[in-house]
């Protein structure tokens, strides 16, 4: 694994977001590099909008636009400010009661960092879900193997 991929994998980005005091352009660009859809869309209007928001340092708006672009199925369930921290929850089923919903939650003193922390947690969850629980390995064909029928039907 290269140093760039290790630097931009979801667990590493999650730790970097947790320890960041404020959003910076390099951190936001690292998050974009970890995205799956953003680079493949080319220069569509939506990706250009995200880049304009980053250039304007509108971090919260850029985070919301990136979430809309990367996670179309997920929605913001809750944003709350409590005791000096922003708490954000993302959910697939926003209309379900809290106790039935499997929301992804994150918190940080900065709103944009809280939103992006939840975003990275959802991406990490998507990577884990797409990975099979048991690795599939195809056995090497044995040249001496020959199937034989040994049933007696009489």
Phi, then psi, of 104 in degrees rounded to 5: -100, 125
pTM over 0.95: no
Spatial distance between the Cα atoms of 116 and 49, rounded to a whole number of angstroms: 17
Structure confidence by residue, pLDDT tens digits, 81-104: 999 999 999 998 877 777 777 888
Tokens representing 20?
């960041």
Instruction: Report CA dihedral (139, 129, 49, 75) to the nearest 10 degrees.
Output: 160
Q: Which residues contact 44 (CB under 8 A, 6 or more apart)?
A: none
Q: H/E element holding 131?
A: none
The residue among 51 and 10 whose pLDDT is bigger is 51
DSSP state of 81: E
């Amino acid at each position: 694994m290269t140093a760039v991929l290790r630097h931009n994998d979801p667990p590493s980005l999650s730790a970097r977001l947790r320890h960041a005091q404020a959003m910076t352009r390099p951190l936001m660009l690292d998050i974009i590099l970890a995205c799956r859809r953003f680079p493949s869309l080319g220069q569509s209007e939506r990706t250009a909008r995200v880049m304009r928001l980053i250039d304007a340092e509108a971090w919260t708006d850029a985070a919301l636009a990136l979430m809309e672009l990367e996670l179309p199925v997920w929605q913001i369930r809750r944003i709350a400010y409590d005791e000096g921290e922003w708490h954000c929850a993302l959910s697939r089923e926003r209309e379900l009661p809290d106790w039935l919903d499997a929301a992804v939650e994150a918190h940080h003193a900065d709103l944009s960092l809280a939103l992006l922390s939840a975003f990275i947690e959802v991406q990490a969850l998507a990577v884990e879900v797409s990975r099979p629980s048991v690795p599939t390995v195809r056995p090497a064909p044995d040249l001496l193997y020959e199937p034989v029928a040994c049933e007696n039907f009489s």
